[in-house]
């Protein structure tokens, strides 16, 4: 029997659910249509969030590993003293999204937690397949660490935050930093992270109410990994669920809805962290699908989720 949507969410999302039911989903592999449709949807949904004009935005340029210049934005809450900071990696299934599209959500994290955030416009698949996106994100980590003094940041108190694909990239950056002996990450906040390229088999309890579908997921992973998707050749910093060694990773917060196709991979990742002695908080939220707080930010479930994320991030 399928899980039931949270009643508040079901009411708030009724127009969106009706529109989705009337439409024909794009074919698996059609990333262009998904990029267009989801970008339009997120643009509309983002305006339900506060603008947070008290959070200042300052543009920067970061040089990627291959020499490409990347745009980044520094979000700083008003009156924030010197101290900790975090990197923010936006969602979008590896095939869409931008800092501009996530601007109000990023500002909300900064305002609610009091922690400044550096958000990077990493390059997207399929035009820029693995390892380009994760290397772009790692370059942002190195840049923030190297420029910590100028930004009034303690380089030992840098965290990573990501939603969906960005959550997967945040986890991957933490793995890369450990592998390379790079800047040490103090904390990781992974919000319904996209971790496993093998999540393709529909769960009958989730599929009817999934907002990010199995077809969407296959499309995103194929765009990022090409023919390697699903094979034994995939490395952990491409799909962090492939990780076999969770030791020496940063304290972690993971959150996922029970009606999210990423639920089981997120739970497994949390268990891997706990099994390696990594302090980990896991939240599985009843009655909500992927991106639930975008769909209905005023519901009790969304308000609690925002508060939990801010509380955990503020500990940086």
- Please say if 112 is a catalytic residue: no
Instruction: Report, as ranges of residue numbers, the positions in the chain whose pLDDT lies below 70.
Output: 21, 81-82
Contact (Cβ atoms closer than 8 angstroms) between residue 107 and residue 78: no
Q: Give the C-alpha separation, 200 to 33, whole Å.
A: 20
- Please say if 196 is a catalytic residue: no
**From 84, 130, 260, 291, the catalytic residue:** 260
- Of 123, 100, 103, 122, nearest to 111 by C-alpha is 103
Contact (Cβ atoms closer than 8 angstroms) between residue 16 and residue 295: yes
pLDDT digits (tens, 9 = 90+) for 214-236: 999 999 999 999 999 999 999 99
Contact (Cβ atoms closer than 8 angstroms) between residue 212 and residue 261: yes
pLDDT confidence of residue 152: 94
pLDDT confidence of residue 298: 94
**From 84, 164, 252, 291, the catalytic residue:** 164
pLDDT confidence of residue 82: 67
pLDDT confidence of residue 21: 66
Q: For the purposes of burial, counting CB atoms within 10 Å of the CB of 79, is it exposed (0-12), middle (13-18) or buried (19 or more)?
A: exposed
- Please say if 290 is a catalytic residue: yes
**Residue 235 DSSP symbol:** -
Sorted by where each starts, the structural domains of the chain and their CATH numbers stand as: 7-314 (3.40.50.1820)
**From 130, 216, 290, 291, the catalytic residue:** 290
């Amino acid at each position: 029997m399928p899980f039931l949507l949270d009643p508040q969410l079901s009411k708030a999302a009724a127009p969106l659910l009706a529109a989705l039911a009337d439409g024909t989903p794009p074919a698996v592999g059609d990333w262009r249509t998904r990029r267009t449709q989801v970008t339009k949807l997120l643009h509309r949904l983002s305006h339900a969030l506060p603008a947070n004009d008290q959070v200042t935005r300052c543009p920067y340029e970061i040089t990627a590993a291959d020499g490409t210049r990347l745009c980044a934005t520094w979000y700083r809450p008003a009156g924030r003293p010197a101290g900790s900071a975090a990197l923010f990696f936006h969602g979008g299934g590896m095939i869409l999204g931008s800092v501009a599209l996530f601007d109000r959500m990023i500002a909300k994290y900064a305002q609610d937690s009091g922690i400044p955030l550096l958000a990077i416009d990493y390059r997207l698949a399929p035009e820029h397949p693995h390892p380009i996106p994760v290397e772009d994100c790692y370059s942002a980590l190195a840049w923030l660490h190297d420029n910590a003094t100028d930004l009034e940041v303690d380089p030992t108190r840098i965290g990573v935050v990501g939603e969906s694909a960005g959550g997967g990239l945040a986890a991957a950056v933490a793995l890369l930093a450990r592998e390379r002996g790079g800047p040490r990450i103090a904390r990781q906040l992974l919000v319904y992270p996209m971790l496993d390229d093998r999540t393709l088999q529909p769960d009958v309890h989730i599929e009817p109410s999934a907002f990010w579908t199995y077809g969407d997921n296959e499309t995103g992973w194929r765009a990022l990994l090409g023919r390697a998707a699903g094979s034994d050749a995939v490395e952990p910093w491409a799909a962090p669920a492939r990780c076999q060694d969770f030791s020496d990773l940063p304290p972690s917060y993971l959150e996922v809805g029970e009606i999210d196709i990423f639920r089981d991979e997120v739970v497994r990742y949390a268990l891997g962290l706990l099994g390696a002695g990594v302090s980990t908080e896991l939240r599985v939220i009843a009655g909500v699908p992927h991106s639930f707080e975008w769909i209905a930010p005023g519901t009790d479930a969304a308000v609690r989720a925002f508060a939990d994320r801010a509380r955990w991030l503020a500990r940086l």
